[in-house]
Amino acid sequence: MIITKKALPRRKFLRGTGATLSLPLLDAMVPPLTALAKTPAQPVRRLGFVYMPMGCDITRWTPPGGKKLKELSPSLSSLAPVIDDVTVVTNLELKNSYPGTHATSNAGFLSAAKAKWTESTDYHLGTTVDQIAAKRIGQETRLPSLEMAMDLMSMVGQCDNGFACVYQNNLSWSSPTTPLPSEAHPRVVFERLFGEGGSADDRRRALSRKASLLDWVVEDATRLQGGLSAEDRTKVSQYLDSIREVERRIQKAEAETTERELPDLERPVGVPVAYADHAKLMFDLQVLALQADITRVVTFQLARETSTRTYPEVGVPEPHHPLTHHGNNPEKIAKVAKINAFHVSLFAGFLEKLKATRDGDGSLLDHSLYLYGSGMGNPNVHDHTNLPILVAGGAAGGIRGGRHIRYAEPTPLANLHLTLLDKAGIHLDGFADSSGKVDELVEPLSI
């Protein structure tokens, strides 16, 4: 039998002046012989890390029960729709983050390294787990990694007990002396993902002359659609609709900027007024970036350590950071737990979108591993043990969800980092202070 059909290249783009759109994985991109044998194309592996600042109320975080995750705790209740894709890991620690500070909580989360105590520019930490991944699985994509945040990271100098602000500002470090700044503005992230040619200002001026970035590529998109199957045409249309909706929300937020009476010092100008709207937009940008294989490694800081952001939408008008120094006041602890649950609910919505987005023979959630958590345990005492940690996704890579891994003794968070790297195809003997891997993530569950 002779097969003459040629598959579309996986790196197929829609192009126009000022824009280039990567496409999601289509059936037309699967090689004919692979399709004939009904063997799916090898899925790409993706890693994501979401940082929750200032720890939690661990009593409302920790699920009840045994190894199987049958019941969720109050802080994690919003994960119910994806409970079988989630594993909670209890009693992980960051030994190298002591003495307990906000700076070392943030800096140690992905590095598990000791931050040099300095207020100057001679800072030193360690290469973070996301950047180890970016050097291996990120080299095949246009962006090796994508660093995102919700707050402006403009503080300089000394931020926390003699530690330079750089430790608190940056989750990702490509080397022990090279922090990678995060971007909080959805417009800038959008342009990094889809803009092409000239400076950022050039692209912005060009886009202002058209209603949408998609207007630049409409001709190329029409030509492509004509040669696709009905299923692929639907997939491309849904993808382009998602891009247009994200762009519409960005434009709406920018238009509302002039209506604000007072600026928010933690939030850049031109982002949605409501925290949830901003966070959902940043999560949706991650979905698009992963779906189109623009990047395979993402970090996202939900708020900076010591954030004084308020959350009146969930009944917490008081600033976050002062509440965490609660002095065991039950009312303050309950409000911290409300913030924790709110942040988790935004992550849960993101996971549902990943699960609903087809990718090859599975979903984006199947082919992604996301770590969610904090580098601080009890914020009232600034400790770094019994951290709030959960892992989501990865079924196609052998990660078994729907479970609660509870260690009897404090265990290095670096063990989990080493395990996630291994499941992404990056095999190392060790990472930072690791003492082994989290084998329970892949072992059959005995009840």
Q: pLDDT tens-digit profile of 393-437? A: 998 778 889 999 999 999 999 999 999 999 999 999 999 999 999
Is residue 206's pLDDT more than 80?
A: no
Closest CA to 394 of 414, 374, 421: 421
**pLDDT number for residue 112:** 97
CATH number at residue 179: 3.40.720.10
Q: What pLDDT shows up at residue 187?
A: 87
Q: Please give the structure tokens belonging to residue 124.
A: 């030193």
Whether 6 is in a domain gets the answer: no
Please check whether residue 1 lies inside any domain of the structure. no
In this prediction, residue 20 carries a pLDDT of: 66
| d(C-alpha 439, C-alpha 84), whole Å | 18
Residue 26 lies in a domain: yes
DSSP one-letter code for 313: G
> 250 and 206: one domain?
yes
Q: Is the pLDDT of residue 300 over 90?
A: yes
Rounded CA separation 11/294 (Å): 9
| 3 part of a folded domain | no
414, part of any domain = yes
Q: Of all helices (H) and strands (E), which one includes residue 354?
A: helix 330-356
Residue 394, in any domain of the structure: yes
Q: Give 183's pLDDT tier (boundaries 50, 70, 90).
A: very high
CB-CB contact of 113 with 120 (8 Å)? no
Q: Are 314 and 339 within 8 A, CB to CB?
A: yes
- The number of distinct structural domains making up the chain is 2
State the pairing for strand pair 389-393/86-93: antiparallel
CB distance 388 to 55 below 8 Å: yes
342 with 278, same domain? Answer: yes
Do 412 and 92 touch, CB atoms closer than 8 A? yes
pLDDT of residue 403: 94
pLDDT of residue 235: 79
Domain assignment present for residue 399? The answer is yes
Looking at residue 222, the DSSP 8-state letter turns out to be H
Residue 254, helix vs strand vs coil:
helix
Task: Give 319's pLDDT tier (boundaries 50, 70, 90).
Answer: very high
Q: Residue 208: what are its φ and ψ, rounded to 5°?
A: -65, -20
26-40, 215-229, 242-256 — which one is most confidently predicted on average? Answer: 242-256
Average pLDDT over residues 261-279: 71
| Residue ending a domain, choose from 270, 296, 311 | 270
Domain shared by 105 and 60, yes or no: yes
437 token code pair: 């891997």
CA distances for 425 relative to 108, 231, 398, 422, 439, angstroms: 23, 31, 12, 5, 15
For 153-217, give the DSSP string.
----SEEETTEEHHHHH-SEEEETTEEE--B--HHHHHHHHHB-SS-HHHHHHHHHTSS-GGGGT
**63 and 205 share one domain:** no
Question: Is residue 223's pLDDT more than 80?
Answer: no
Q: Same structural domain for residues 436 and 297?
A: yes
- 119 plus 83 within the same structural domain: yes
Q: Could you say which of 239, 270, 301 is where a domain stops?
A: 270
| Residue 238 identity (one-letter amino acid) | Q
Q: At what angle do helices 102-111 and 129-137 cross, to 10 degrees?
A: 30
pLDDT tens-place string over residues 74-107: 999 999 999 999 999 999 999 999 988 999 999 9
Does some domain include residue 160?
yes
pLDDT at site 203: 53
Alpha carbon 158 to its chain centroid, in Å, reads 27
Same domain as 120, residue 247: no
For 414, the domain range is: 46-184+272-441
pLDDT classification of 38: cutoffs 50, 70, 90: very low
- The enclosing H or E element of 411 equals strand 403-412
Within this chain, do residues 154 and 195 fall inside the same structural domain, yes or no? no
Q: Which residue has the tokens 């995750």?
A: 69
Does residue 313 carry a pLDDT above 70?
yes
**37 pLDDT higher than 60:** no
- For 230-245, how does the pLDDT look when each residue is reduced to its tens digit (9 = 90+)? 787 887 888 888 888 8
Q: Per residue in 356-392, pLDDT tens?
A: 999 988 999 999 999 999 999 999 999 999 999 999 9
Q: What mean pLDDT, rounded, does the chain reach?
A: 85
Q: If pLDDT is split at 50, 70 and 90, which confidence band does 39 have?
A: very low
Residue 13 has pLDDT above 90, yes or no: no
Q: Which residues contact 5 (CB under 8 A, 6 or more apart)?
A: 32
Asked whether residue 51 falls in the same domain as residue 117, the answer is yes
User: Do 301 and 180 fall into the same domain?
Assistant: yes
Q: Give the pLDDT band of residue 261 (cuts 50, 70, 90).
A: very low
Q: pLDDT tens digits for 105-128?
A: 999 999 999 999 998 889 999 999
Count of Cβ atoms closer than 10 Å to residue 113 Cβ: 23
- Confidence at residue 231, expressed as pLDDT on a 0 to 100 scale: 80
Which pLDDT value is given to residue 3? 36
How far apart CA 350 and CA 372 sit, in angstroms, is 12
- Please check whether residues 158 and 300 belong to one and the same domain: yes
Task: Compute the average pLDDT of residues 219-235.
Answer: 74
Q: Are residues 166 and 286 in the same domain?
A: yes
Positive or negative CA dihedral for 26, 28, 34, 39?
Answer: positive
Rounded to an integer, the average pLDDT of 195-213 is 57
Among 217, 240, 270, give the residue marking a domain's end.
270
Model confidence at 227, pLDDT cuts 50, 70, 90, reads low
